[in-house]
């Protein structure tokens, strides 16, 4: 599959069997973030309408969709699984935020995230740690990173943490 075919940014797209190919195995098992945690993550990151929220491993798209719907922010979801991209696009259309949000089937380690002012994660500590060089190299100072449940390890301690009904969220800021 070429890179053009791997990018799905339009509305709901009917995909044929050859288009439903994984680029490689996902880095994390898909598990949706509960909506109350999504809301707390966006609040902790101080999202506004001026932000561009990138969700790495975006699954069903609930974080970028919530950022657009609740704050007027632009959102970009990146996921390696074409089924998740299709589901996210369907959810985007249902939520009526099509002009503000798009989803891309791509390897999160290969994606260009330089436009982000907020990055959200729910990937696992090991994957978060592997992302540290990319985050620090591509993101501008002041960009906020919020992770559901998983930290970056001792090399990059969180600036803030918050418990949401027994689940943790963590915040970092690019310096």
What digits encode the pLDDT tens for the residues 96-115?
999 999 999 999 999 999 99
3-state secondary structure of 125: helix
Q: Where are the domains of the chain?
A: 3-9+22-173
Of all residues in the chain, the percent with pLDDT exceeding 90 is: 82
Core vs surface per residue 125-163: b (16+ CB within 10 A) or e: eebbbebeebbeebbeeebbbbbbbbbbeeeeebeeebe
pLDDT band at 150 (very low <50, low <70, confident <90, very high): very high
Q: What is the pLDDT of residue 27?
A: 73
Crossing angle of helices 62-71 and 35-44, in 10° steps, is: 60
Tell me 17's DSSP state: G
Number of neighbours of residue 112 by Cβ within 10 angstroms:
11
3-9+22-173 classified as CATH 3.40.50.150: yes
Q: What is the pLDDT of residue 22?
A: 62
Q: Tell me: the pLDDT tens digits for 1-44?
A: 333 333 333 333 444 444 556 666 767 778 899 999 999 999 99
Strands (E), 4-100: 52-56, 74-79
Enter the pTM of the model: 0.86
């Amino acid at each position: 599959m070429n890179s053009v075919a791997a990018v799905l940014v339009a509305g709901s797209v009917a995909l044929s069997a050859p288009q439903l190919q994984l680029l490689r195995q996902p880095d994390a098992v898909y598990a949706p973030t509960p909506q109350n945690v999504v809301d707390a993550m966006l609040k902790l990151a101080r999202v506004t309408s001026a932000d561009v929220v990138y969700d790495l491993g975006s699954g069903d798209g609930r974080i970028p969709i919530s950022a657009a719907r609740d704050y007027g922010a632009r959102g970009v979801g990146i996921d390696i699984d074409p089924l998740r991209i299709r589901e996210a696009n369907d959810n985007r259309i249902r939520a009526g935020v099509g002009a503000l949000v798009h989803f891309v089937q791509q390897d999160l380690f290969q994606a260009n995230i330089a436009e982000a002012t907020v990055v959200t994660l729910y990937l696992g500590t090991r994957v978060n740690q592997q992302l540290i060089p990319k985050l620090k190299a591509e993101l501008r100072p002041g960009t906020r990173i919020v992770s559901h449940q998983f930290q970056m390890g001792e090399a990059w301690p969180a600036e803030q943490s918050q418990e949401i009904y027994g689940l943790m969220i963590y915040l970092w800021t690019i310096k």
